[in-house]
Every structure is written in structure tokens, then in C-alpha cells.
Structure 1
Amino acid sequence: MNPRAQAFLPLLFVLLWSTGFIGAKLGLPYAEPLTFLSTRYVLVIAVMLAVVIVSRAPWPRSWGATAHIAATGLMVHGLYLGGVFMSIKHGLPAGVTALVVGMQPLLTAVGAGALLGERVSPRQWLGLVLGFVGVALVVGGRAQLGLPAGDLWHMIWPALVALLGITAGTLYQKRHCPSFDLRTGSVIQFVPALLLTALVAAQTETLHIEWHGRFIFALLWLVLVLSVGAISLLNLLIRQGSATHVASLFYLTPPVTAIIAWALFDETLSPMAIVGMAVAVSGVWLARQRSAR
């Protein structure tokens, strides 16, 4: 791959991934979270199966490899996306949800050292901490919920599940299946995510969808841009870089989401938020520097 194009991929991933919260905000008023996600997964599988058939993409050579890819799908899609959508639907602001799952780089750095043997330098640790501080500054103004502890816990526990899911999925994929065909791999990842999500939705939701224009737009955006485009980029980045490097990109999601929300919904940015964005960007830059050899 051209070095310039390769350097651009992380920035493109952050931009696309950040629109996921915007898509949720647009679509969730018209469908319950797991029903929304189940519909999304069905369309993603259909699209990717068509791509696989037309391109004659290769499937994994063993059932073991298939199982590893499927396991990452349960964590990265089923747990992460399910948790994020449920928290937003339960009333947790998107910025606060982003802050919770934004702790992923710290957890991934710890896990990468313990499970993958990746060396995290002091400079990278400093970058990770700065990134977390920056994210906290960006969304801190939105955390004044004034809710009883029980209500807040009802909102935030799905986001904690999402945090654990995306962290475990990133580490698991890096260790057990860092390289696979992105076309067939996407199908394998989304099928178990669909089964789990649809099963829980059938037990806990009405499965009703209001086919409003906003919902259709949000659904198609999340299918084509997020589930096909951003997830393929995530898999590619995990293949090319360390788990810590890839995870540090998630620190940029809340600031970029805030900018998009300002552009689309006229949400104002406080001076603290602007400072936080600068701190987060600096932290990501440090965290993505290679360890000294």
C-alpha cells in the first residue's frame, strides 16, 4: 500500500467511526436499540455476502480460524455496539457514552502488555493518560445529569459492557486472528452478533420499527459507512499495528463526534471542550509513537 494512503487510514477510520454516535442519535427514536442493530446486521450480512460471491473471496481454511473470527464478532459488534446503543436509548448522553468507552486504550494497553507481550513505553503511557484527560475535558460539561445513583447505573452499565467488549475483542483478534480476508471475515463476525442480538431483542423488545426517513438514512449510513467501511478499516489497522496503537485512535472519537454534532445539530463547543480536543490529539500522537528499541 502507498505510504501516504497508509498514513491516511487512521484519520479516515476516526472520522467514520465517530459518525456512529450521530447515526444512533438519528435512528434510535424510531426503533429500540437491539431491534435497530439486528436490522443493521441483516443488511450488512446481505451486502457482504454479495461482495463475497462476486469477488469469490476465500473462506478460512479451518473451523478453528472461523471460530476465532466469530468470537471477535461477538465482542466487537455484539457487545460493543449493543452496549453503546442501549446506553444512548436509556438516556445516557452520547458524549458521556463516548467517555466511558473512551477508556478502552488504557485497558488495551494493560492487556497488551500482559497478554500479547507488547512493550508500552513511558512516552506511550503518558500519551494514553493525556488522551483520557482530553476526552474527559471534552465531555465533562455534559456529565451533569443530576440523576439518582440507581438511574445513572441503569444508563451506564451497558456502556461498561461495551467498553469490556471492544477491549477484549481488540486483544483477542490481535492474538488469535490478526489476519483474515476482510470480506468473508465480516460475514463470519456479523452472523454470531446477529444471532445474539436478535435473541435478546426478541426477549426484551417489541421489535417495532417506525420507517421514518431519518431512520432509513441512519440505517443505511450505519450499514454501508460504519459496518462495511469503518469495520473493514479497523480490521486492517489491527492487522498492521499493535493493539495499543490501534486502541489509541478511539481517544479521538468523542472530540470528532462533538465537531460533527456542532456542524449538524448546532451543538456549541465550550472553551474547555476545545482545550480537551487539543489535549486528546496530543495524547494520541504520543501514544502512537513507536517504543524505543
Structure 2
Amino acid sequence: MSAPAADSAASPIARLLQAAVPAVFVVMWATGFTGARLGLPYAPPLTLLFLRFAIVVAVVLPISLVTRAPWPRGWRLRGHVAVVGLLMHSAYLGGVYCAIAAGVPSGISALIVGLQPLLTAAVVGPFLGERVTKLQWLGLAIGLAGVALVLLDKLHFDAAQSWGVVLAFGGLLSVTAGTLYQKRFCSHVDLRTGAVIQYSAASLVLLPLALALGWGPVEWTGELIFAMAWLVLVLSLGAVSIFYLLIRKGAASRVTSLFYLTPPVAALLGWIIFGESLGPVALFGMALTACGVALVMRRSVRWRWGRS
């Protein structure tokens, strides 16, 4: 008789933890822009990314072998996993990092990536057969308006930064394609071995590009070491794994709606860490963005944590 009572007592806690996962993901994902800003002054963007991915492989490969994690069956599925790695890591992060290195503010990069929910919703129906309701479209539009308000004072760049903006939009296309591709072909792949394949493929592509465009110099300062550790542990191992779990358990359009919260959180982190100011318009935009995300998530399918 005591077991059902224990289960009943634990279920509210479990539901609370499950509800907190998307919020934790947003905060972790937003810190990626902070980590990039900390690390890029001390290493070229592609070099920084290659080192980050190589360290991830060095960490996850032994874990996969020791825990006997299952590898994707067949070279075709492994190829799908590698494609996700190229889209989500090489192309997306490469575009964002190069944009920031070219002088595009990290807030602008966050804003551009924040357009992903609209892009995903536009193609998610034909690609995955998910229904996007009118209320969701309204939420997406409200979220976009909120993001624009948050970063209104940062929407200025000169001609020299135009190429960086193009690269950031290329990153947007890549992360959107990678999200849909992951949901369609790789949603049941083990996260440990999947990470080994993805980051290995991303490293193999970035290495020749980094060597061709200029490898260094790399200044191993305390800030770079801290940024690298944060990017590896919190972003590559933590946030990306949570992202794939969210894709596995919920609709792609709902998961990507969380990206609307990334620019406001990134702006908040900029205020806390770098002393960047947040005016009344930005605060209103943050609230508006939260309302838009709530509309998108309210009418979507529920997270299916009980099954994969």
C-alpha cells in the first residue's frame, strides 16, 4: 500500500522537474553567446570551434565505450547523424562565431537565430506532418515582435559587418535544417554515441577550413580556458543534449519556439556580466516574448516523457 503513495508523492516533483527543463535549456543556450564573446578575442572562430569539438569527442568517446552505449546501426543511420553534426555544429555555430568575429554584436546574432521558430513553423507541416494552429502563428508573431523590441537599440551595423550578417543568417538556416533533420531521421539515436559521431564529423570539416583561413594565434588566457570549459560542458554536452531530448519528446515547432527566449535571456546575461543596460522597451519586449512563447506552447502537443 505504501508504494502507490510514494509514487503519488513523487509525481508532482517529477512534473515540476519536467516543466523546468525547457527553462533550464533556454538559460544554458543563451550562455553560448556569452561564451563566444569571452573566447573569440583569444582565438579565431573556426579554430575555437575545432578545439571545442575535439575536446567534446575526447570526453564523450571514453564515456560511450565504458558505459557500452549503443552505436547507430548501419552506415546510413550513422551518415544521418553526421549530417546533423555538420548542420547543427559546423554550419550553425561556424556562421554565428564568424559573424561575431566579423563585428556583428552577439545580440544581433541571437536575434537572427531567434527567427528560427518562424522558419521552422513555415516548413514543419510539409516536412514532419505537424499541425501549426492559428493561435501558434499568432504566438510566433508576438514572439518575433518581442525579440525585435529587446534588441531594438542594437539593430545597427555598418557595411563592413554585412558579410557577418549573411553568415549569421546562414547559421539560422543550418540550425533550422538540423533541427528538422534530427527530428526526422535521428530522434532515437543514443545521445552519447550520437555526440561522438556528430562532433567528429564537425571537427573533420572545420580543421581544413581553420587551417586554410588562418589557424591562430591562440592565447590560452584564463578567460579562454573558462570559456572553453563552459562551451564544452554546459553547451556541447549539456544544452545540446537537452535540446535533442526536447525534440524527441515534443513537436519541433514547440521546441524551436523556445529560441524566442534566447535573445532576451542573452540580453539579461549581458546586463549582469558585462553591464549592458536594459531599458523599459527591452523589458517590455522580454515580457512580450514570454507571452508569445506561452501561446505557441499552450496549443502544442504535450511533452511525451514517458516514451521515446
TM-score (norm 1): 0.96
Q: 2:172 aligns with which of 150, 160, 163?
A: 163
Q: 1:176 aligns with which of 175, 185, 192?
A: 185
Residue 193 of structure 1 corresponds to 202
Residue 244 of structure 2 corresponds to 235
Q: 1:6 and 1:188 mapped to 2: Cα distance?
A: 28
Residue 30 of structure 2 corresponds to 18
- Greater shift after overlay, 198-207 or 36-45? 198-207
Residue 73 of structure 1 corresponds to 85
List runs of 5+ in structure 2 lacking aligned partners.
1-10, 302-308
State the one-letter code of the partner of 2:143. Answer: G
Match of 2:277, SS state, is coil
Residue 20 of structure 2 corresponds to 8
Q: How many Å apart are 1:46 and its aligned residue?
A: 0.6
Q: 1:92 and 1:279 mapped to 2: Cα distance?
A: 25
State the one-letter code of the partner of 1:4. Answer: L
Residue 150 of structure 2 corresponds to 138
Q: 2:147 and 2:290 mapped to 1: Cα distance?
A: 10
Matching of residue 88 in structure 1 with residue 88 in structure 2: no
Identity over aligned residues, as a percent?
Answer: 51
Residue 137 of structure 2 corresponds to 125
State the one-letter code of the partner of 1:18. Answer: A
Write out aligned runs for 1:97-136 (5 A). Answer: 97-136=109-148
Q: Is the Cα–Cα contact under 8 Å of residues 178 and 239 in structure 1 kept in the other structure?
A: yes
Q: Deviations over 1:153-204 (max 9, x none)?
A: 2220110110000000011111111111111111111111111111211111
List runs of 5+ in structure 1 lacking aligned partners.
none
Q: Is the Cα–Cα contact under 8 Å of residues 251 and 300 in structure 2 kept in the other structure?
A: no
Residue 52 of structure 1 corresponds to 64
Q: 1:291 and 1:228 mapped to 2: Cα distance?
A: 27
Q: How many Å apart are 1:142 and its aligned residue?
A: 0.9
State the one-letter code of the partner of 1:188. Answer: I
Match of 1:16, SS state, is helix
Q: 1:25 and 1:61 mapped to 2: Cα distance?
A: 38
Q: 2:272 aligns with which of 250, 253, 263?
A: 263
Q: How many Å apart are 1:117 and its aligned residue?
A: 1.1
Q: How many Å apart are 1:79 and its aligned residue?
A: 0.7
Q: 1:88 and 1:103 mapped to 2: Cα distance?
A: 17
Q: 2:173 and 2:276 mapped to 1: Cα distance?
A: 29
Q: 1:91 and 1:12 mapped to 2: Cα distance?
A: 29
Cα RMSD over matched residues?
Answer: 1.2
Matching of residue 31 in structure 1 with residue 40 in structure 2: no
State the one-letter code of the partner of 1:131. Answer: G
Q: Is the Cα–Cα contact under 8 Å of residues 80 and 162 in structure 1 kept in the other structure?
A: yes
Q: Is the Cα–Cα contact under 8 Å of residues 35 and 208 in structure 1 kept in the other structure?
A: no
Q: 2:110 and 2:247 mapped to 1: Cα distance?
A: 21
State the one-letter code of the partner of 2:111. Answer: L
Residue 306 of structure 2 corresponds to none
Residue 290 of structure 2 corresponds to 281
Q: 2:180 and 2:89 mapped to 1: Cα distance?
A: 14
Q: Deviations over 1:40-93 (max 9, x none)?
A: 001000111121122111111221111111111110111111011000000000
Q: How many Å apart are 1:114 and its aligned residue?
A: 1.6
Matching of residue 204 in structure 1 with residue 216 in structure 2: no
Number of aligned residues: 289
Match of 2:154, SS state, is coil
Matching of residue 223 in structure 1 with residue 232 in structure 2: yes
TM-score (norm 2): 0.91
Q: Is the Cα–Cα contact under 8 Å of residues 135 and 255 in structure 1 kept in the other structure?
A: yes
Q: How many Å apart are 1:291 and its aligned residue?
A: 4.5
Q: Is the Cα–Cα contact under 8 Å of residues 75 and 168 in structure 1 kept in the other structure?
A: yes
Q: 2:278 and 2:248 mapped to 1: Cα distance?
A: 35
Residue 304 of structure 2 corresponds to none
